[in-house]
């Protein structure tokens, strides 16, 4: 069992974080979101929850989720800053979102992921996601298909380690 004491903290994203989020978007996604898209998402605190992992003043990852109806969570975006992958950053962001979901009585989560994104798919499978279908030609630029994944959010924190 891996015991991790992360050096980062998870907090709500703020407007001032947008350049860091943009940097990670541009590094990590073939179709990065724009500044105004990100600002709109951060500002929409009613149905969205954008969080960042901050380590000694550096944003090393972020997650954006959308609460749909009363009992669904949609993972809009998740990214870890290059050089910080494999440290558990994305996992800790998802753990925080799962805790929030439980607090709101949200029991299910869904997302789309590019079929070739094996790293992200492996992460999602560890969180109980399973494929339910494919959206053909989902990504405008790459024309890649997306897997549609769903997961049940367990009622209590998962036992054991992150890994």
Among 65, 73, 90, 151, binds ligand COA (CB under 6 A): 90
Distance, CA of 38 to CA of 70 (rounded, Å): 23
Please identify, among the stretches 15-23, 31-39, 96-104, 114-122, the one whose residues bind ligand COA according to the rule CB under 6 A. Answer: 114-122
**Least Cβ distance, residue 35 to ligand COA (angstroms):** 18
Residue pointed to by tokens 């279908």: 133
Tell me: does residue 122 bind ligand COA (CB under 6 A).
Answer: yes
Residue with Cβ nearer ligand COA (18 or 111): 111
Residue with Cβ nearer ligand COA (51 or 80): 80
Tell me: does residue 119 bind ligand COA (CB under 6 A).
Answer: yes
Burial grade of 77 (CB within 10 A; 0-12, 13-18, 19 or more): buried
Residue with Cβ nearer ligand COA (105 or 130): 130
**DSSP one-letter code for 93:** H
Residue with Cβ nearer ligand COA (81 or 101): 81
**Least Cβ distance, residue 159 to ligand COA (angstroms):** 16
Do 108 and 151 meet the contact criterion of CB atoms below 8 Å apart? Answer: yes
Tokens of 9: 């903290």
3-state secondary structure (DSSP) of residue 126: helix
Distance, CA of 51 to CA of 93 (rounded, Å): 7
Looking only at the bridges linking them, the beta strands covering 58-68 and 48-55 are: antiparallel
Contacting residues toward ligand COA, per CB under 6 A: 4, 28-29, 61, 78-80, 85-91, 113, 117, 119-120, 122-123, 162-163
């Amino acid at each position: 069992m891996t015991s991790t004491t992360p050096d980062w903290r998870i907090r709500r994203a703020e407007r001032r974080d947008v350049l860091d989020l943009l940097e990670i978007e541009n590094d990590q996604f073939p179709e990065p979101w724009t500044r105004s898209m990100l600002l709109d998402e951060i500002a929409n605190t009613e149905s969205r929850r954008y969080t960042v992992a901050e380590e000694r003043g550096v944003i090393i990852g972020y997650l954006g989720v959308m609460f749909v109806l009363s009992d669904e969570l949609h993972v809009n975006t998740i990214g870890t800053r290059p050089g910080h992958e494999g440290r558990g950053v994305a996992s800790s962001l998802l753990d925080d979102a799962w805790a929030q979901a439980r607090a709101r009585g949200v029991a299910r989560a869904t997302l789309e992921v590019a079929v070739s994104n094996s790293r992200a798919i492996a992460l999602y499978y560890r969180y109980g996601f399973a494929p339910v279908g494919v959206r053909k030609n989902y990504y405008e630029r790459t024309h890649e298909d997306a897997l549609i994944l769903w997961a049940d959010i367990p009622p209590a924190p998962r036992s054991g380690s992150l890994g």
